[in-house]
Structure 1
Amino acid sequence: MLTVGDTLPPLKIPVQQGTASLPGDETLDLGKTDGKWKVLFYWPKDFTFVCPTEIVGYGQLKGEFAKNDAVLIGASTDTSHVHFAWRQSDPQLAAADFPWLADNAKKLADALGIVHADEGVAYRATFIIDPDNVIQHVSVNGLNVGRNPAETLRILKALQTEELTACNWNEGEEVLRPVAA
């Protein structure tokens, strides 16, 4: 599995966004940096139970991620048409207005090393990637346990301080300053 310090693979992956029209041949070029942080999170499968709670949770914080110079990118190993149908079926998912990678060929999921061997779907993996496309944080949950999007935002903010931050540090709190001996 790729980890902290590794570079995000510069792949072009099919992407689906919105509910205005059927998916076309759009792709997202993960090699582009645009000077922004990326928060990439995978869920196992569309039309399931835990996944929509995470997607909606991240969608509700999209503006906060943007304020912190980060783009939100969701992903699963479903197709863009399945993503589109799921968004069409649920107003809360339709409102989760950020790109959803349709990694049904598992190019990115395999490159990241996050495919569950028996189930053939991605784990609930979260990657925070800096503006140089270097992975700065990775967390992976099993298929049955949802994530906390607010914790991902907290970690992003902590990483952006480029300082030492204590356990449970929150924005606005002091960072740690070692005393010189």
Structure 2
Amino acid sequence: MIGIGEKFPDFDKIAVVSLDKGKEFENVSSSSFINDDNKWTVMFWWPKDFTFVCPTEIAEFNNNYGEFRDRDTTLLGASTDSEFVHLAWRNNHDDLRGLKFPMIADTSKSLAEDLGILVAGEKVAYRATFIIDPQGIIRWVCVNDLNVGRNVKEVLRVLDGLQTDELCPCNWEKGEETLTSALEA
């Protein structure tokens, strides 16, 4: 699996961005959000559309969309399902109709493969979350087993810590003091 300190892979994928007829799909590429001097990116992956745990996570990321935006962070969701399956799911599921971020379709599985997050055999993505800094470098990776949903508040907490560019102790929360190293004292 690709890790911390590595450059996030370049990609250009189709995504569902709207339910409006004729405006459902757009291309989303790494060049449209990486290397923006001020923007961070959070990309999260789920295994399959039309399942049980996945919509709870997607809805929770959407509920916190404003929190990511307030942190100058682009939010992206992705799976290996097609854009047509994404669109059908959004139309079919009450919690997904009003999504404010793109649902990227990695039908070729090329990006998931580059990231090293494909489940052996079934070739669906693990529940992986990447925090990418404005220079396109991965600063945090968290991967959950297929049966366990992630904690969006923890993603925000880690993003806050990374954005301080300071030492953050265990259980640190935004607004709390950071640490000073012996070298700085």
TM-score (norm. length: structure 1)? 0.95
Tell me, in whole angstroms, the C-alpha distance in 2 between the residues paired with 1:59 and 1:26. Answer: 19
Aligned: 1:133 with 2:136: yes
Q: What is the aligned counterpart of 2:79 among 76, 79, 85?
A: 76
Q: Is the 8 A contact 1:23 1:81 kept in 2?
A: no
Tell me, in whole angstroms, the C-alpha distance in 1 between the residues paired with 2:94 and 2:112. Answer: 27
Tell me, in whole angstroms, the C-alpha distance in 1 between the residues paired with 2:91 and 2:141. Answer: 30
Aligned: 1:51 with 2:51: no
Q: What is the aligned counterpart of 2:92 among 89, 93, 96?
A: 89
Name the aligned partner's letter for residue 132 of structure 2: I
- Going from structure 1 to structure 2, the CA distance change for 1:110 and 1:147 (only over 3 Å counts) comes to same
- Going from structure 1 to structure 2, the CA distance change for 1:26 and 1:96 (only over 3 Å counts) comes to closer
4+ residue segments displaced more than 6 Å:
none
Tell me, in whole angstroms, the C-alpha distance in 2 between the residues paired with 1:104 and 1:28. Answer: 14
Q: Is the 8 A contact 1:23 1:84 kept in 2?
A: no
Q: Deviations over 1:50-86 (max 9, x none)?
A: 0000000000000000000101000000000100000
Aligned: 1:19 with 2:19: yes
Question: Which residue in the other structure is 1:106 paired with?
Answer: 109
State which drifts further: 115-124 or 91-100. 91-100
Q: Is the 8 A contact 1:128 1:137 kept in 2?
A: yes
Q: What is the aligned counterpart of 1:149 among 148, 152, 156?
A: 152
Tell me, in whole angstroms, the C-alpha distance in 2 between the residues paired with 1:17 and 1:116. Answer: 26
Note the C-alpha offset of 1:24: 6.3
Question: Which residue in the other structure is 2:163 paired with?
Answer: 160
Tell me, in whole angstroms, the C-alpha distance in 2 between the residues paired with 1:18 and 1:53. Answer: 19
Q: Is the 8 A contact 1:44 1:77 kept in 2?
A: yes
Name the aligned partner's letter for residue 165 of structure 1: C
Q: Deviations over 1:75-129 (max 9, x none)?
A: 0000001000000011211122201110011111000000001221000000000
Q: Is the 8 A contact 1:115 1:123 kept in 2?
A: yes
- Going from structure 1 to structure 2, the CA distance change for 1:86 and 1:10 (only over 3 Å counts) comes to same
Name the aligned partner's letter for residue 26 of structure 2: E
**SS of the residue aligned with 1:122?**
coil
Same amino acid, percent of matched pairs: 49
Question: Which residue in the other structure is 1:2 paired with?
Answer: 2
What RMSD, in angstroms, separates the aligned Cα atoms of the two structures?
1.4
Question: Which residue in the other structure is 1:30 paired with?
Answer: 30
Q: What is the aligned counterpart of 1:123 among 98, 122, 126?
A: 126
Tell me, in whole angstroms, the C-alpha distance in 1 between the residues paired with 2:102 and 2:122. Answer: 24
TM-score (norm. length: structure 2)? 0.93
- Going from structure 1 to structure 2, the CA distance change for 1:106 and 1:23 (only over 3 Å counts) comes to farther
